[in-house]
Structure 1
Amino acid sequence: MLGSVISLAFSCLLFVNARAINSLTARDAKPDCKNYHTDFTKGISGWSEIAGATNWEVTKEGLKLKLIAPPNYSEKIDTSTPNKLKYNTAEGEGPTFNASSYMQYGRFSATLKSAKTGGAITAIILIADDKDEIDFELLGKGHKENEQVQSNYFWGKNIVYGKNGASHDVSGGSIFDSFHTYTVDWSPERIKWSVNGETVRTKTRNETKGEYPSSPARVQIGLWDGSKESGTAEWAHGPIEWKTIKEPVTAVIKEVTIECDPEHNNVIN
């Protein structure tokens, strides 16, 4: 999927200067990993804000992430594409947070409401310094497309675009009007994606033919604008039509739980 290209680039751009704890790689000693549960109605303890400094607030529902429109932009048509795809010349600014410690295998769950607007992507991912990545990406509703939940993964040593993603239906209300819990359970043998306790996808190491994310990674949550590149805008059900939308572009993170695999991490409680 073309949007995965920019999704990955977005993550890499944000973290290209990040320093790994003790220069961790998959071959080094076990990472220090902290088990914790964050109730975002009470604050952001345990999380580092790395983008969108003014675009969030703690509310009675949780951590509200807000996407801010670019101050100057124009709407364009990409005439080089067969379907004359639309895009914006600038992207909005959204907040992104990292968990404070790395994890090499384990489990995390995030309960949230995603952004409603097409073109906005609510991201809940594991991101490693060597570009290994495991994702949930939630797409808004727009341009005749309904909201959508997608899973994906990347192996940093041989990144393949448009191959490893999948889409999933979610019951129990819309993903932007109702809270849903998204879980990634990551072991040396397989990755399991679940929504509201129901497994929606499993990928084994054998199925990846060894191209399997295995490096220490941090949990990341964020909200970003996929409108600037025409292919990504189409994938994200955008671009965002800033001049016509009548409500803020927001997502709400209620809580996150991180559980480290004690066999592969030095667990800190």
Structure 2
Amino acid sequence: MYFSTTAATFALFSLFTVSLAQTFTSCNPMNSTTCPADTALGVANYTIDFTQSMMTDTVWNATAGSVTYGDDGADFTINVRGDAPTVQTNFYIFFGQVEVWLKTAKGQGIVSSIVLESDDLDEVDWEWIGGNDSYVQTNYFGKGNTTSFDRAAWYPVDDPQGGFHNYTVDWTAEKLEWFIDGQSIRVLNYSDANGGKNFPQTPCNVRLGIWAGGDPANANGTIEWAGGETNYNDSPYTMTVKKVRVTDASRGTEYVYGDETGSYTSIKVLNDTTPIKLDGEDSTSAAKTIKQKWNGLPQTTKYIIIGVVGGVLLIVASVFAFCCIRQRRAGKHERLIEDAKYEKNAAEVLAYRADMTKMRFDKSKGPSVHVSPIIGNGGAAFQNYGQTQPMMGGMRSPAPQYGHGHNVNPFGGARGYQKF
């Protein structure tokens, strides 16, 4: 059951939402007959799980900002003012289904969205306001027509910011139906959209994005619709998309507008080109982050890789430890050599200083005196008086009576100084 509002409130919301929706086209087939053909999905089903694969440039076009990948999937994040990460598929579907498993962003003035958009501005919307954790707005447009104000409707959803929900649109030529977790919440019949004139009915691509409707530069009505002015100091604000599944009811590789009416009956389905190379579960060479590649490996392969990497790390650690020990020993040996050199140099310096001191001392005392090794202490007395001792080659000391005894010989004699 959807959330009832007054007609005036619906009108106000719808009016503001016109400026909020991701409504732009590079060439409008209702205004030109030279618009290029739209690339079709080319297969019945396309599925990508962003916990296991990344978007590729072949399938997705980042029209603003960039997407990062975490454990829960693709993250669309507003970090600073001006951020508005948005992507759209390079393929179109001509009726079909779009399922998105999504967790919306928190934050006053922050808008999370899923949009189906055609070249002539047919549009189907899901929009969540960051300051409202209880409702989602569904909306649609036909050829960009904003003359009526009865399109938007709000429906309750359980904690869209805290958990993932499956938001699905089932689109046929007869009706549009919105689902939350498999439960139908709204049906729009072809005839109920201004007799079909405002019913979305031309090939659409799929767009995912987040933006700050509450940016201070926006119009007051936009800020009010978005729930108030955004405070960028509270960032980051993140919308996370876990998985996307798209089916195409047609089986072509290109869609061409046959005239400028914008009617689904004018669309030509062609098969003259090669189908787009898909990623995700529909590709054998899906782009993955390193973590996604690791998570996708069989457990046995993981054990083998861990063992190999562990063995390599152990070898590297062992080599490193050996080199460190060897270097340490070499360093210790070099230190010992250097210490020995230092001690030798220090000893030589000390010896040199001793020699220099002796030389200075000898010079200050006059001529040097030669002391006979045979005379011993007796010769030293002459040195004290400045006399020289003649060489006496092998002469023994004279008898004790010739000198003055200073020491008593323990064997009964006395030694004295030789006297002349």
Q: What's the TM-score once normalised by structure 1's chain length?
A: 0.78
Where do 5+ consecutive residues of structure 2 fail to align? 1-12, 253-268, 276-281, 283-420
Does 2:46 align with 1:58?
no
Q: Tell me: CA distance 1:59–1:18, structure 2 relative to 1, closer, same or farther (3 Å).
A: farther
- In the other structure, the counterpart of 1:254 is 242
- In the other structure, the counterpart of 2:78 is 67
CA deviation string 1:158-212 (max 9, x = no partner) = 33363211000013xx101100110011000000000110001000001111121
Q: Tell me: CA distance 1:213–1:196, structure 2 relative to 1, closer, same or farther (3 Å).
A: same
Shift of 1:129: 1.1
CA deviation string 1:93-124 (max 9, x = no partner) = 21111112101100010001001112111110
Shift of 1:68: 3.1
Shift of 1:266: 6.6
Q: Structure with the greater relative contact order (CA < 8 A, sep ≥ 6): 1 or 2? A: 1
Quote the Cα distance in structure 2 between the aligned partners of 1:158 and 1:205: 15
Contact 1:5-1:161 within 8 A present in 2 as well: no
CA deviation string 1:206-254 (max 9, x = no partner) = 11111211111101100111022211111111211224x2x41111000
- In the other structure, the counterpart of 2:55 is 44
Contact 1:99-1:219 within 8 A present in 2 as well: yes
CA deviation string 1:6-36 (max 9, x = no partner) = 123xx23xx43369997348xxxx9454431
Contact 2:117-2:205 within 8 A present in 1 as well: yes
- In the other structure, the counterpart of 1:130 is 120
CA deviation string 1:35-73 (max 9, x = no partner) = 3101112211332211113xx201111000011322xxx
Does 2:147 align with 1:160?
yes
In the TM superposition, structure 1's runs of 4+ consecutive aligned residues that sit over 2 Å from their partners are 15-25, 30-35, 145-148, 157-163, 262-269
Q: What's the TM-score once normalised by structure 2's chain length?
A: 0.51
Aligned match for 2:170, one of 160, 176, 185: 185
More strand by share: 1
- In the other structure, the counterpart of 1:5 is 18
Q: Count how many residue pairs are aligned between Structure 1 and Structure 2.
A: 231
More helix by share: 2
Quote the Cα distance in structure 2 between the aligned partners of 1:185 and 1:266: 23
Describe how 1:35-114 pairs up with structure 2 within 5 A: 35-41=45-51, 42-45=53-56, 46-53=59-66, 56-70=67-81, 92-114=82-104
Quote the Cα distance in structure 1 between the aligned partners of 2:170 and 2:71: 28
Quote the Cα distance in structure 2 between the aligned partners of 1:22 and 1:32: 19
Question: Aligned Cα RMSD in Å?
Answer: 2.5
Quote the Cα distance in structure 2 between the aligned partners of 1:134 and 1:94: 20
Contact 1:127-1:134 within 8 A present in 2 as well: yes
